[in-house]
Each structure stands twice: as C-alpha cells, then as structure tokens.
Amino acid sequence: MENEDQPRLRSVVSYVKRGGRMTVGQQRAWEEHWPRLGRTVAQLPEGPVDFTEWFGREAPVMLEIGSGMGETTSQLAAAAPELNYVAVEVYDPGLGQLMLRAEKLGVTNLRLMHGDAVVLLTDHVEPGTLSGVRLFFPDPWPKKRHHKRRIVQPEFVALIASRLAPGGTFHMATDWEHYAEQMLEVCSAEPALRNRYADEPGGWAPRPEWRPVTKFEQRADREGRVSHDLIFEKR
C-alpha cells in the first residue's frame, strides 16, 4: 500500500551502482545457479515474496543488505543452516562470486536478490516477518556534504523495524566512527527498537566471534580505524 513516506524512502537507495565485468567463473555461476537461487527485485510480481515456497521449507528469514563479493555472506549462511538466508546486492560480479563461494562451501540455505533493498523491503516483504537484518560496512559517504546519502536514516530504520518480527535483530557494523555514532543515534530514536547492548560502554555490541573479518575491517585496522558493531532488536 502506498503511503506518504515511500517517496522519501525511495530517494535513498541501498547501494551505489557500480559497473564491472564478470569473470568466466562468475558468468558460469550466473548461468548455472541464478535461475534457482536468484531473483531480480524490479521483476518481482506484486506483493510479498513467499520465502517458504522459494526455499522449500519454513525457517526464520535473515536478510543481509549489501553482500559485496560474498566472502562473509557465504560463510555466514554456511554457519547457520537453520536460517533461510537472503542476500540483496546490486553488483552483478559480486552476486556471481557469492554463488561461486556458496557452491564451494556446499551452501543450500542461500537465496539472492539483485536490486535495491529499500524497494524489496517496502514492496515485497511482509511486516513482522524477518528474524533479522544485517548491514555490514555500508558505503560510509565520509564527506559531510554526502552524509544525507547514507542508508541509515530515520525512514530506513523505521522500515527495517516494521519488517522485523518481535525479538528480531538489526545488526550493523562500520569502521567509520562518525557513521557508527549516526547509526547509534538514529536507531536509538526508533521507538520500535531497543539497543541490546545499551548498558555496554558507548552502547556498542561486542564484536561477535562468528562475524568473519572483512577486507574493509582489515583495511580499517591497518589505517587505525576502530570497527563498531551495533545490535538493535524489535520490541
């Protein structure tokens, strides 16, 4: 159903469109696996996606926004076979690489969405149905004049909260201090969410051992930036 908030939500997309040529392996992955594992957000029929039908089973649905080249995503899906794991990404080679990594790890509980997560959440995910949403190292837009392009804004967080089931989690990570503070402020102001680690120093979540160290986190460490995790849950 359309509402007055949607135009503002859709003005902040969940990605920056980047080009890139696929390798032979990535192209093969698209040809062999995409018909079964992938769907394009812009081509979805109206209404919510039937995840139970797509996965062939009923299980908690975890949505990861921005899976990049898939190294972390493939490992997380492999480590949690009890989840129906959905990754949404706009970068074609990244999705191809994710399918290759999933194939190598023997992952069977992963499905891929190509397109904008905001549109997916707004138009194709029922309220109160996701067990969790993960947003790891989104584009930081470090220049102050570009901060309005960051995806973690009040309208986006309200959308995430509306799609989470009670007790569901919104887990973020970033290596940019100012962005981490913005995430903390915006999510703390969302009445449907509570900071699971509000009593910890700064309100930051301890870094989970199960989250693989990404290339962004490795680079941040070399450059002297501290990565922060934040975990909010649906009230």
Burial 17-30 (b: 16+ CB within 10 A, else e): eeeeebeeebeebb
List 92, 123, 139, 229, catalytic entry: 139
Q: What is the pLDDT of residue 214?
A: 84
Residue ranges at the known binding site for S-adenosyl-L-methionine: 64, 89, 116, 139
Predicted structure pTM score: 0.90
Q: What is the pLDDT of residue 6?
A: 39
Q: What is the pLDDT of residue 18?
A: 45
Q: What is the pLDDT of residue 181?
A: 97
Q: What is the pLDDT of residue 97?
A: 96
- Could you please state the CATH topology (level 3) that the domain comprising 24-234 is classified under: Rossmann fold (3.40.50)
Q: What is the pLDDT of residue 11?
A: 42
Q: Is 139 a catalytic residue?
A: yes
Q: What is the pLDDT of residue 83?
A: 98
Residue ranges at the known binding site for substrate: 143, 175, 214-217
Q: What is the pLDDT of residue 2?
A: 36
Q: Of all helices (H) and strands (E), which one includes residue 38?
A: strand 38-40
Q: Could you tell me the two tokens for 205? A: 């979540």
Residue ranges at the known binding site: 64, 89, 116, 139, 143, 175, 214-217
- 192: number of Cβ within 10 Å: 15
Q: What is the pLDDT of residue 1?
A: 39
Q: What is the pLDDT of residue 197?
A: 98
First to last CA, the chain: 24
Written as tens digits, the pLDDT of the chain (235 aa) is 333 333 344 444 444 444 468 999 999 999 999 999 999 999 999 999 999 999 999 999 999 999 999 999 999 999 999 999 999 999 999 999 999 999 999 999 999 999 999 999 999 999 999 999 999 999 999 999 999 999 999 999 999 999 999 999 999 999 999 999 999 999 999 999 999 999 999 999 999 999 999 888 899 999 999 999 999 999 9
- Residue 165, classed as helix, strand or coil, is strand
Q: What is the pLDDT of residue 13?
A: 45
Strands 193-195 and 110-114: unpaired
